[in-house]
């Protein structure tokens, strides 16, 4: 099965989901824009309409789509429009690209439950859209955090997210 999430910088979301039990692969890429075969540099301008996303392949016998959604909503801020921390632009928007009606219902239900329970101080602005063409990011983005743990961005932004995830989700880690 596949799930596709945009939670800001794909390096951050990839680093978290690589640890989830039942996830067999996480691929960084781009979705939701107008340009064919976009590059990282083009997407970073915000002019292509693409979001930085991750495409997750998972085993539903080991991890449910609901569990993946839960991790997604708890490891980024779904209440900031076109922004995650200091990353600003439409390419960093919070978005779920659903693969079929079951995923669409699940994400809309989860957003409704989160809104009802006032988990977040501000309204959720996560976009929910049907899956579109996935454009794989350039190879140097693969497992970026694992390959570049000393990078200042990785240390300041990604490492704390991964550590918080590992602490919170001990029973869901590979």
Q: What is the CATH number of the domain that holds 104?
A: 3.30.1060.10
Distance CA 19, CA 136 (A): 20
Please calculate the CA angle 167-170-174 and round it to the nearest 5 degrees: 120
Could you report how far apart the first and last alpha carbons of the chain are, in Å?
18
What pLDDT was estimated at residue 86?
87
- If one counts the domains in the chain, the total is 1
Catalytic residue list: 9
pTM for the structure as a whole: 0.96
Residue 161: Cβ within 10 Å count: 21
pLDDT of residue 33: 96
Q: Are strands 127-130 and 135-136 parallel, antiparallel or unpaired?
A: unpaired
Question: Average pLDDT for residues 73-100, to the nearest whole number?
Answer: 95
Residue 170: its pLDDT value, please? 85
pLDDT (mean) for 143-159: 96
For residue 120, the enclosing domain spans 2-172
- Average the pLDDT over 83-91 and give the result: 93
- Asked whether the predicted pLDDT for residue 169 surpasses 90, the reply is no
Write down the pLDDT at residue 172.
Answer: 82
């Amino acid at each position: 099965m596949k799930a596709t999430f945009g939670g800001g910088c794909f390096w951050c979301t990839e680093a978290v989901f690589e640890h989830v039990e039942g996830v067999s692969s996480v691929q960084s890429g781009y979705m939701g824009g107008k340009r064919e075969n976009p590059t990282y540099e083009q997407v970073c301008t915000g002019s292509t309409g693409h979001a930085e996303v991750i495409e997750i392949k998972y085993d539903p016998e080991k991890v449910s789509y609901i569990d993946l959604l839960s991790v997604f909503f708890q490891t980024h801020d779904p209440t900031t429009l076109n922004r995650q921390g200091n990353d600003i632009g439409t390419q960093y928007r919070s978005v779920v690209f659903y693969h079929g009606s079951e995923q669409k219902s699940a994400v809309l239900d989860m957003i409704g439950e989160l809104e009802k329970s006032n988990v977040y101080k501000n309204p959720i602005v996560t976009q929910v859209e049907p899956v579109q063409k996935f454009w794989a990011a350039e190879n140097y983005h693969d497992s970026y955090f694992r390959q570049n743990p000393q990078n200042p961005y990785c240390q300041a932004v990604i490492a704390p997210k991964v550590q918080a995830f590992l602490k919170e989700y001990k029973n869901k880690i590979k």
